[in-house]
Amino acid sequence: MNSSASNPPPFRLIGVVGSGAMGRGIAQLFAQAGIGVRLHDANPTALSSALAALGESFAKLVDKGRLAPEAAQRARASLEAVDSLDALAGCELIVEAIVEQLDAKRELFQALEPIVGDEAVLATNTSSLSVTAIAARCRAPARVAGLHFFNPVASMKVVEIVRAVRTDEAVVERLVALVRATGHRPVVARDTPGFIVNHAGRAYGTEALAALGEGVADFETIDRVLREQVSFDGNGFRLGPFELLDLTALDVSQPVMESIYRQFFDEPRFRPSVLGAQRLAAGLLGRKTGEGFYRYDARGARTDVQAEPAAPAAAVRPPVWIAPGPRAALVASTARALGAVVREAEAPGEHELVLVAPLGLDASAASRAGAAGVDLPAERLVAIDTLFPIEPGRCRRRVLMATPATRAEYRDAAHALFASDGVAVTMLRDSPGFVAQRVVAMIVSIGSEIAQQRIASPADIDAAVRAGLGYPLGPLAMGDAIGAATVCEILDNLHALTGDPRYRIGGWLRRRAQLRLSLLHED
Ligand SMILES: NC(=O)c1ccc[n+]([C@@H]2O[C@H](COP(=O)([O-])OP(=O)(O)OC[C@H]3O[C@@H](n4cnc5c(N)ncnc54)[C@H](O)[C@@H]3O)[C@@H](O)[C@H]2O)c1
């Protein structure tokens, strides 16, 4: 598996079947890598429009100076449209990107087997079907693998090579070398629902939808929190989960959420939301229909943007008492830097604002945990999320939550205090794990499960997620940045408080937390 972009590609002639959005992108990538491509589509109109689009695409790359005119000429010349499957004889690899239907893909590979040579490899670009099931009807299933590109093919620089149950290892290695030769990053996955990227991507939207369903906050607030609070050395999520659902469109995302959940036999970590199903039924698909969670104009720009409500002007600025714990010093120094009088005492005084910094607990549970076994006064208690930086100058948003018993003047006093340096503040309803803690902990948990099940190597999991989902870090590096023990504390408390088995911790994560090993550590 040592070939690099400078080595000759392991296939000289590749057949691409299906010339839609994916097939034409795949054909272009191979042609630009200097490989001969025969492109076929059952629909001649689709094929000719794909050819026209490819011609335009090469011309644009030349115009923008991203491709030399001679290279474009060579790529164009190495691409041939063919009107029958028979014309694919002689291809050493076939990549199919036809309609996403099991029977259609099985029939295509069965039809191709007698046409192509015995040594030819058959690869499917399926996103959601079992590669093993597609291969099962072939005479020689060992030569069938998944070769899963992302859309748009040129700019999504990662490709999943999917090893089905009977795939020959040499086939996997040749596909790895091929992907390297195109300049994309190959990652190898076992044939399991969602492979790596669509499996690892289940946490972000699903957990955000769960928080929305539980009434923690409205969707726009949840988007703001995940976009602006989460920060790994200044990098976070570029889009909130609901913005992302609108971009992908719910008629694509909701079936994926449901299918992965079902394919893993109702694994609670992937449990989809009733809200998603209802919004899909209502036709609120997202940007492409003008309305999803948000509203859009014909160019896809939001038409419903509203300024966030201003922070309340607090009538009182009570002294602050901070519950002891590993994060108390950080909360104290931040509160002092914002001008609060912080009282150091064993127990809170009578009129003090009580601050807690729970991990995986809600504010109410944190009030019962109490200092030295004493319950804290819930009516004066506010929780602050310290999972990401809260210090002045180091954060864009601070996230608080109050108990149902917290009095409005104390809630407002905490809000005003933490907004006093101009940083945005979100006040959530009381809920275990705020928003960011539960979402990020679930990303780490699911990424760790992918490693535990040996679906892919830790390095490939993280590389695939960074490139395929655009996260600032892969799920395992994310867990390392937060600390595996902290992730476990969040999940254990979520599990204990909710009783929901979605939060149970798998072996990979638990063991590495116990042994203080990196989540990227293999055994
Ligand atoms: N669109 C994406 O974001 C994306 C990403 C990754 C993988 N995929 C997968 O790639 C495949 C293609 O997706 P797409 O978005 O390009 O679809 P598409 O609808 O744009 O194109 C499919 C093309 O295949 C042709 N076709 C259908 N049945 C055929 C057959 N039996 N023989 C020959 N040609 C046939 C159609 O005429 C059409 O031109 C699917 O399996 C899909 O799940 C799609």
Query: Ligand 1 atom closest to Cα of 149?
Result: 6
DSSP 11-41: -SEEEEE--SHHHHHHHHHHHHTT-EEEEE-
- In this structure, the residue with its CA closest to atom 18 of ligand 1 is 20
User: Ligand 1 mean position to 100 CA, how many Å?
Assistant: 6
Largest CA distance in the chain: 86
pTM value is 0.95
In the set 96, 160, 207, 352, the catalytic residue is 160
Whether ligand 1 lies within 6 angstroms of the CB of 247 is answered as: no
Q: What is the pLDDT of residues 15-43, one digit of tens each?
A: 999 999 999 999 999 999 999 999 999 99
- Which pLDDT band, with edges at 50, 70 and 90, does 371 fall under? low
Judge whether residue 337 has pLDDT over 50. Answer: yes
Cα 134 to ligand 1 centroid, rounded to whole Å: 15
Query: What's the mean pLDDT in 315-328?
Result: 94
Average pLDDT over residues 361-367: 96
What's the CA gap between 461 and 474, in Å, rounded? 7
Q: What is the mean pLDDT of residues 284-294?
A: 97
Quick one: pLDDT at residue 133? 98
Q: What is the pLDDT of residue 2?
A: 41
Computed over every residue of the chain, the mean pLDDT equals: 96
Ligand 1 atom at minimum distance from 105 CA: 31
For residue 4, pLDDT beyond 70: no
Check residue 9 and give its pLDDT. 82
- Answer for the pair 489, 446: CB distance below 8 angstroms, yes or no: no
Contact 357, 335 (CB under 8 A): no
Q: Is the beta carbon of 101 within 6 A of some atom in ligand 1?
A: no
What is the model's pLDDT at position 132?
98
Residues 277-281 have a mean pLDDT of 97
377-434 pLDDT, tens per residue?
Answer: 999 999 999 999 999 999 999 999 999 999 999 999 999 999 999 999 999 999 999 9
Sorting pLDDT into bands at 50, 70 and 90, what band is 1?
Answer: very low
Ligand 1 centre and the CA of 58: distance in Å?
A: 21
351 as an active site residue: the answer is no
Segment 355-359 mean pLDDT:
97
Compute the chain's Rg from CA coordinates.
26
Q: Where are the beta strands (DSSP E) in 320-479?
A: 320-322, 353-356, 381-384, 397-402, 424-428
SS3 (DSSP) at 309:
coil
| Half-sphere exposure in the Cβ direction for 499 (13 Å, CA) | 0
In this structure, which residue's CA is closest to atom 37 in ligand 1? 43
Residues 194-218 have pLDDT tens digits of 999 999 999 999 999 999 999 999 9
Average pLDDT over residues 229-234: 97
pLDDT of 335 over the 90 cut: yes
Predicted confidence (pLDDT) at residue 90 exceeds the cutoff of 50? yes
Q: 241-248 and 202-213 are packed helices; what angle lies between their axes, rounded to 10 degrees?
A: 110
52-58: average pLDDT? 96
Please state, for a pLDDT cut of 70, what percent of the chain lies above it. 98
pLDDT in tens, 473-497: 999 999 999 999 999 999 999 999 9
The yes-or-no answer on residue 127 being catalytic is yes
21 lines ligand 1 (CB under 6 A): yes
Cα–Cα distance measured from residue 240 to residue 451, given in angstroms and rounded to the nearest whole number: 26
DSSP reduced 3-state for 214: coil
The stretch 327-341 carries a mean pLDDT of: 98
Q: What is the mean pLDDT of residues 302-318?
A: 91
Q: If you measure from the C-alpha of residue 149 to the centroid of ligand 1, how many angstroms do you get, rounded to a whole number?
A: 12
Q: Is the pLDDT of residue 221 over 90?
A: yes
Cα of 24 vs centre of ligand 1, distance in Å, is: 10
